[in-house]
Amino acid sequence: MSQTVLEPGGHQSCLGCTRRQDSWWAGPTATVATILAFIIYSTWAAFQGEHYYAEPYLSPFYSPLLLIKPDVAGGAPLDHAWFAGWPEWIPAFVTPAFFILIFPGAFRFTCYYYRKAYYRSFVASPPGCAVGARMPGTYDGERRLLAFQNLHRYALYFALGFIVVLTWDALIAFMKYNPATDRREFGVGVGTLVLCLNTTLLACFTFGCNSFRHLVGGNVNAYSKHPVRFKLWSWVTVLNRRHMEFAWLSLFSVGLTDLYVRLVSMGIITDYNTWGF
């Protein structure tokens, strides 16, 4: 009778070999499809450089607007920029999104949950529990080149800053500029709700981060002496338990929010709202 060769951890020794009867491949396949679709769309949106603004909505892919390229269709008014002017020496293909996307990108890429997802689905190392890996027996931890994953705790600080900025964008989305009165007026549009929902999901993803949980509750010997930190740690733990869900929901929401702003800016869809002008 033939004997199945098992690697440590119960994995069989050939790629994809398993005794599992369930659809273990569905998760990794969906992960590849979703992440590839997001990378393609977000890269296109970043290079596209137009229609990222529809008063008073700003796409999260372009926020914060450090610099604004003038005379761009669907671009933000120049006074929305943090810094004035667009330096001549910047190559023509560069858009305002180029200055910022590296930060949320690095935060997601090094996230503990996403690592598990893409190690399984893109590297097949292994593709699932008790499923044969691509190079069985060669994994020896996140060392050498993979040590860059330690950047996650630093990427967190930038991600927290982005939550502040996006919260401000969501608040501004209640105040639309009325050219007739030359004032911003309070109201609510579908876009306002879209931006609020996106910021909420991104905040739930960011505040549920393992590094943030350590930041608020780590290095404490006795929580009884640190009740505030214990309370914060407890709240973060609630989000942390759902980190996978928020990782996916916020990925969808940030892409769909850009799409919504883009379609409104292009005049393809109407933003139903209370302003009436």
Catalog residues that contact ligand FES under the rule CB under 6 A: 111-113, 152, 209-211, 243
Nearest distance, CB of residue 107 and ligand FES, angstroms: 6
Q: Are 80 and 62 in contact (CB under 8 A)?
A: no
Cβ-based nearer residue to ligand FES, 113 or 260: 113
Cβ-based nearer residue to ligand FES, 120 or 243: 243
CA distances from 272 to 57, 186, 189, 275, 277 (A): 13, 14, 6, 9, 11
Burial of residue 180 (number of CB atoms within 10 Å: 0-12, 13-18, 19+)? exposed
**Phi/psi at 84 (5° precision):** -75, 150
Among 126, 115, 141, 149, smallest CA distance to 243 is for 115
CA atoms within 13 A on the CB side of 75: 20
Helix (H, G, I), strand (E, B) or coil at 184: strand
Helix (H, G, I), strand (E, B) or coil at 110: coil
Nearest distance, CB of residue 247 and ligand FES, angstroms: 6
Nearest distance, CB of residue 121 and ligand FES, angstroms: 16
Cβ-based nearer residue to ligand FES, 72 or 165: 165
Cβ-based nearer residue to ligand FES, 167 or 210: 210
Cβ-based nearer residue to ligand FES, 97 or 247: 247
Nearest distance, CB of residue 200 and ligand FES, angstroms: 16
Nearest distance, CB of residue 113 and ligand FES, angstroms: 5
Nearest distance, CB of residue 233 and ligand FES, angstroms: 15
Cβ-based nearer residue to ligand FES, 57 or 205: 205
Whether residue 56 is preceded by a cis peptide bond, meaning omega within 30 degrees of 0, is: yes
Q: Are 263 and 269 in contact (CB under 8 A)?
A: yes
Q: Are 37 and 252 in contact (CB under 8 A)?
A: no
Among 259, 261, 251, 235, smallest CA distance to 111 is for 251
Cβ-based nearer residue to ligand FES, 157 or 223: 157
